[in-house]
Every structure is written in structure tokens, then in C-alpha cells.
Amino acid sequence: MQKGRSMIEMLGVLIIITVLTIGAMTGWQHTRQKMKIAETQNEIALIEQDISNLFAWARGYPEAVSMETLCKEEVFPSGCSSSNVAYHPFDRNVPGRPGTYEVEFDSGYLVIVLRYLPDMETCREIRSSIALEHYVGGECEGTNDTEVSLVLMFQ
């Protein structure tokens, strides 16, 4: 009588380990995505608050302000690059297209644009859970999942 495991038993153990590993990796990726969404929502709130504070003396938003000025005033929580580009938490999701913030002022509204989000579902999830005092509305734009942008308006 031989001692040890049969090949079938070893293959069974390997299959069980593989299934558990795949399940753990999927759960980790989902948790990481949720973390990035929460981080993005937090950054949007901080950006809106910092810009409102920056122009509180004017009792409204200016007609135009450069990204250079906003970067110099440290409005973006993640900071800016040397070329005055501010990146959001999803900045590495689309290869060759870093995710960036853009800030515009339009007829008394502050418009924050997040370029190159990973997909429409993520865009809608970020938009749907924004509950800020001056938030007017937002819209997900894009023709496919590689060029998704979120446009948010504040008054």
C-alpha cells in the first residue's frame, strides 16, 4: 500500500485554490474601484470648496481663471504637474490618456470636468452620489468607454 496523494487529489486542491484566488482578486478590484470613486467625490468637494473660498470676496465666480492660478493656489488635492495639469484618482485607467481635471467658469457657474474616466458606469456612480450645497447638476459624456467625461456644474 502506497502513502501519499493521488494526482486527482492534487488537481482538486489546485482547482479549489485557483477559484478562491480569482474570487479574492475580483473582490479586491471591486473594493479598489469603490475607493477611487469615494476619493474622487471627496476631491470634487474639496476643489469646489477651495474655489468658492478663493473667490468669496467677489460673491460669485469670475469670468475666467487659468489652471496656472488654480494650481498655484493649491486648489487640487492631488496637486498639479509642472505644466499645470491636475490629475484625478482615475488618471491611469486609460492607457495613453491620463485622467485630468479641467475647471471652467460659464455665466456665473463653476464647471468641473473630469476627463478620461474608465467607463460610463463609474461616471454615473460618481455623479449620482454628489450631494454638495452649490451643486446644480452633472452629465456624463462620451461616445465609448475610452473617452468618458463627467461635467459638473456648481452655482
Residue 71, domain CATH: 3.30.1690.10
3-state SS class at 92: coil
Is 140 part of a structural domain of the chain? yes
Is 101 part of a structural domain of the chain? yes
Cα-Cα-Cα-Cα dihedral sign, residues 144, 149, 150, 155: negative
Q: How many CA atoms lie within 13 A of 42 on its CB side?
A: 9
Is 14 part of a structural domain of the chain? no
Residue 16: predicted pLDDT: 95
Is 129 part of a structural domain of the chain? yes
Number of domains in the chain: 1
3-state SS class at 53: helix
Residue 69: predicted pLDDT: 85
Nearest to 99 by CA among 117, 123, 80: 117
Is 86 part of a structural domain of the chain? yes
Quick one: CA torsion of 126, 128, 132, 138, rounded to 10 degrees? 80
- ∠43-48-49 over CA atoms, to 5°? 95
In order along its 155 residues, the chain shows pLDDT tens digits of 667 678 888 899 999 999 999 999 989 988 988 898 888 888 888 888 888 888 777 666 777 778 888 888 888 888 888 888 888 888 765 566 788 888 888 887 888 998 888 888 888 998 988 888 888 899 999 876 668 889 998 88
* Structural domain harbouring 108: 31-154
Residue 17: predicted pLDDT: 95
Is 3 part of a structural domain of the chain? no
